[in-house]
Homo-oligomer: A and B are copies of this chain.
Amino acid sequence: MKLLDRFFAGDRAALSRVITLLENDRARRSDILDRLYPRSGKARRIGITGPPGSGKSTLADRLTARLLQHGRTVGIIAVDPTSPFTGGALLGDRLRMQGSWDDPRVFMRSLADRNHTGGLSEATPHAMTALDAFGTDVIIVETVGVGQSTLDVSDVSDTTVVLLTPESGDSIQAMKAGLMEIADVLVVNKSDREGADRFASELKMIVDMGRWEEGWKPSVLSASARDDTGIDDLYERLGAHGDYLAGEGRLQARRLRQGRSAIEKALAELWQGRLTALRESGDAMDRLSERVARRELTPLAAAREMMEEAAD
């Protein structure tokens, strides 16, 4: 039985293999996505972002437990810092995730942050497509930190949860990092720590001052993922945000934004690939460089010729 047939028959090993291919095998990626993409689009997509050490993994674990209690299947994609030694993802964090690790209704995958963007791995949206097409109810994406990634977690999520801690810097820093803008729900984790209440009040003030889409203002919740407190509140708010999105084409609007971001990413990759191919074949580049060196052609005119060849 072929890989994708096994995948569509619900074989978890096939899902795992498909994600590996999407992550590593650029040549087969496109064909696989052609098959998966039309079957995707049904899953609820929740992004969790926040500074390193804010407790994203633990929160994802707790949230997963709630989702399972409510009968959902869950896929978790975490982006882990790449080990400089192995080139693979550092799986240490994942060891914390004891609660749901063995549950057959949970599929967990770490992707390597090869480019060290601090945000999402390039393969993240592809892995999400796989989980989605596999029939997963809820997909949780967890960033490695607060990235300066061109691929923002809010570009792949229906709902973005921003996790902060009293230690993770003040609310002004959160604004600077652009976290306030993308948050649908704000969670102050480690709420038993000193300064947590003041920090939550500050965040609420900032939220109150902000201008938000009609019908939704980000809530500021307090939680302690480690102690499993505040998670029911989060679960409730995520439900409320889901209801909000369901109305007046709002989910459709987010999906449009996700589509646009995915196209831009694909465009950049495609272009990079063609340019690399042109460079490596070398003929055009050699010929044109020579003409530029002889001042017969400006670099811009040469680039225009290259563009035409690249477009073929």
Task: Give complex CA distance A306, B263 in Å.
Answer: 9
Is A295 a contact of B263 with CB atoms below 8 Å? no
A33 on interface, CB distance cutoff 8 Å: yes
Q: A270-B307, A285-B260, A311-B311 are in contact. Are A299 and B34 (CB under 8 A)?
A: no
A195 on interface, CB distance cutoff 8 Å: no
Is B260 a contact of A300 with CB atoms below 8 Å? no
Is A293 a contact of B256 with CB atoms below 8 Å? yes
Q: A41-B295, A290-B256, A311-B311 are in contact. Are A30 and B263 (CB under 8 A)?
A: no
Is A270 a contact of B300 with CB atoms below 8 Å? yes
19 A–B contacts, CB within 8 A, in A order: A30-B300, A41-B295, A255-B293, A256-B290, A256-B293, A259-B288, A259-B299, A262-B292, A262-B302, A263-B288, A263-B289, A263-B302, A265-B299, A266-B303, A270-B300, A270-B304, A308-B311, A310-B311, A311-B311
A24 on interface, CB distance cutoff 8 Å: no
Q: How large is the interface on A (under 10, 10 to 19, 20 to 34, 35 or more residues)?
A: 35 or more
Q: How far is the CB of A291 from chain B (nearest CB, A)?
A: 8
A38 on interface, CB distance cutoff 8 Å: yes
A37 on interface, CB distance cutoff 8 Å: yes
A238 on interface, CB distance cutoff 8 Å: no
Is B308 a contact of A289 with CB atoms below 8 Å? no
Instruction: Give every chain B residue within 8 A of A293 (Cβ-Cβ).
Output: 41, 252, 255-256, 258-259
Task: Give complex CA distance A256, B288 in Å.
Answer: 9
